[in-house]
Amino acid sequence: MICEECLRLGTKMRGERVKLKKNDRRVAIKEAIELNPFITDYELCEKFDVSIQTIRLDRTHLNIPELRKRIKLVAEQNYGRIKSIEANEIIGDLIQVNPDVSAQSLIEITIDSVFAKSEIARGHVLFAQANSLCVALIHKPIVLTHESQVEFKEKVKLNDTVRADARVIDITDKHYIIEVNSYVSDMLVFKGNSKCTIQVRMNEMVKIAVDMMGGDDAPGIVLDAVKKAVEDFKDLEIILFGDESQYNLSHERIEFRHCTEKIEMEDEPVRAIKRKKDSSMVKMAEAVKSGEADGCVSAGNTGALMSAGLFIVGRIKGVARPALVVTLPTTDGKGFVFLDVGANADAKAEHLLQYAQLGNIYAQKIRGIQNPSVSLLNIGTEAAKGNSLTKKAYDLFEKNQSFNFTGNIEAKTLMDGNVDVVVTDGYTGNMVLKNLEGTAKSIGKMLKETIMSSFKNKLAGAVLKKDLDTFAKKMDYSEYGGSVLLGLDGTVVKAHGSSNAKAFYSAIRQAKIAGEENIVQIMKDTVGE
């Protein structure tokens, strides 16, 4: 690792630009490209104060492909994450997609895309890039653009690279509302809002069972989330289990079933499942077991839900131990899949291998990553590091060809966004998860206290409010939904006990995508006997 001073590319000391020695420069170039795969050779020239030829020679020595190739490699990995449009129909290269949430694409303005006399980009090129991106991020088979409002902010010229950022800002009972901003470097050149219509075939309906009574703020947040989910997703049906005296919804795709019992947070898990046969959680799990529902969602007692999953839904034959998986945020907003976070405190290397296989399928089908990178959590990146469990697991991972194993990863780099799936045992995973949650809360508290500490800081906070909101959104677990108990003969999603309506809605969406993608059957075919 190169020193921090060396990484301050393009800085000046005492009025003179710092120039690195060749070997140091090459290390820094590699790290700069790993940090931003889309950095251009010309930007690297500026950073390192060397010629374009030198940069190209350094890249060749490092075996790093040119920008065009790097973009294509990233785009190819993302094409498997889209459902509504073919890869060759997207205008530009898809460099990031989080289905139903956000997406990014890049397009280089070529001679075919500009007016001959002025070499200014034709407006329809920018619109086509934005429109195809809006369609691509919606995870539905058939999506049509209903209407668009666009504004061209600045001229785009020949050889410019345009980055389009699209995000869903609202979902109504009929449409997705999507905001798109396009940039050349940091300059806003195009902005627009699109309203996209979804067409649904009735034979593609997904049915989810929901525990109305589980969670700190149930049933209020559950009812709010269910109402929004059936309004947003025309291909979704809900079976809701709970106390009829607290049920207040009326919708043709919501079926309510009264339950006389409720599993409390303080209940002993196994005893509660065995004794409270008419509880909302037990009835929900039985609906999945019978095949009546494609999956289920609860924010209730974690131990009880895992027991219901094991004893009622049942394991996939051949899966030794189910794993609890969660998607955690990263600094780049992409997130990573993390398992096991508490289903099994003790694990063998063979169990970790199965976790890796299950997590790989989950990342592909739920998160839409075509070829996920899989790492093993350890105290060092070297193969020889760790205890007997991680060393044996490393050997098994390396020999297995069913997933893309990229070696060990340390806890300090988990949130850098360098890997798609991270595997560990439930004891370690639960501690890491709780530490990350606690740290995030503490940072948020300290930041708030600092901003509110003086009038000057309050003014600065007001100026930075939009940036702070963006930061908070990146670190918001509610964007990703709940945890999923993988390895069961049905989809079981555990929403956080303190979930708000947004987080529970995301958990329902997660269960719905699992049903659409037939993830349980894929796991049976891949991991099961």
Phi-psi region of 481 (alpha: psi -120 to 50; beta: other; left: phi over 0): left
- In this prediction, residues 349-378 reach a mean pLDDT of 88
> Quick check: 187 and 271 in contact, CB under 8 A?
no
Predicted TM-score of the model (pTM): 0.59
Measured between alpha carbons, how far apart are the two ends of the chain, in Å? 44
pLDDT digits (tens, 9 = 90+) for 152-193: 999 999 989 999 999 998 887 668 999 999 999 889 999 999
Asked whether the predicted pLDDT for residue 82 surpasses 70, the reply is: yes
Asked whether the predicted pLDDT for residue 482 surpasses 80, the reply is: no
pLDDT the model gives residue 466: 62
Task: Name the strand (E) or helix (H) holding 55.
Answer: helix 52-62
What mean pLDDT is reported for the chain?
Answer: 84
pLDDT the model gives residue 81: 66
Grouping H, G, I as helix, E, B as strand and the rest as coil, residue 142 is strand
> In whole angstroms, what is the distance from residue 293 CA to residue 491 CA?
9
pLDDT digits (tens, 9 = 90+) for 485-518: 888 989 999 888 888 898 899 899 888 888 887 8
> Quick check: 38 and 67 in contact, CB under 8 A?
yes
- Residue 312: DSSP 8-state: I
> Quick check: 496 and 299 in contact, CB under 8 A?
yes
Phi-psi region of 191 (alpha: psi -120 to 50; beta: other; left: phi over 0): beta
> In whole angstroms, what is the distance from residue 419 CA to residue 479 CA?
19
Rounded to 10 deg, the angle between the 41-48 and 22-35 helix axes is 130
The DSSP bridge pattern shows strands 295-298 and 491-494 to be parallel
Phi, psi of 66 (to 5 degrees): -65, 165
pLDDT the model gives residue 479: 52
**What domains are there in the chain, each with its CATH number?**
4-64 (1.10.10.10), 72-199 (3.10.129.10), 201-319+487-529 (3.40.718.10), 323-480 (3.40.718.10)
As beta bridge partners, residue 528 has none
Rounded to 10 deg, the angle between the 52-62 and 41-48 helix axes is 110
Q: What percent of the chain has pLDDT over 90?
A: 36
> In whole angstroms, what is the distance from residue 61 CA to residue 53 CA?
12
The residue among 27, 22, 19 whose CA lies nearest residue 3 is: 27
Biggest CA-to-CA distance, the chain? 80
Asked whether the predicted pLDDT for residue 14 surpasses 50, the reply is: no
Measure CA 223 to chain center.
25
- In this prediction, residues 233-257 reach a mean pLDDT of 92
pLDDT the model gives residue 40: 83
The residue among 44, 22, 169 whose CA lies nearest residue 101 is: 169
Q: pLDDT band at residue 5, thresholds of 50, 70 and 90?
A: very low
Least confident of 3-7, 259-263, 286-290: 3-7
- Residue 326: DSSP 8-state: E
Q: What percent of the chain has pLDDT over 70?
A: 89
Measure CA 479 to chain center.
8
pLDDT digits (tens, 9 = 90+) for 394-419: 999 999 888 999 999 998 898 888 89
> Quick check: 285 and 214 in contact, CB under 8 A?
no
**Per-residue CA distances from 122 to 69, 111, 154, 192 (Å):** 25, 10, 12, 16
Phi, psi of 33 (to 5 degrees): -75, -35
Radius of gyration of the chain (CA): 25
CA torsion, points 248, 251, 255, 256, in degrees to nearest 10?
0
Q: Any residues with CB less than 8 A from the CB of 97 and at least 6 apart, and which?
A: 78, 81, 82, 103, 104, 136, 137, 368
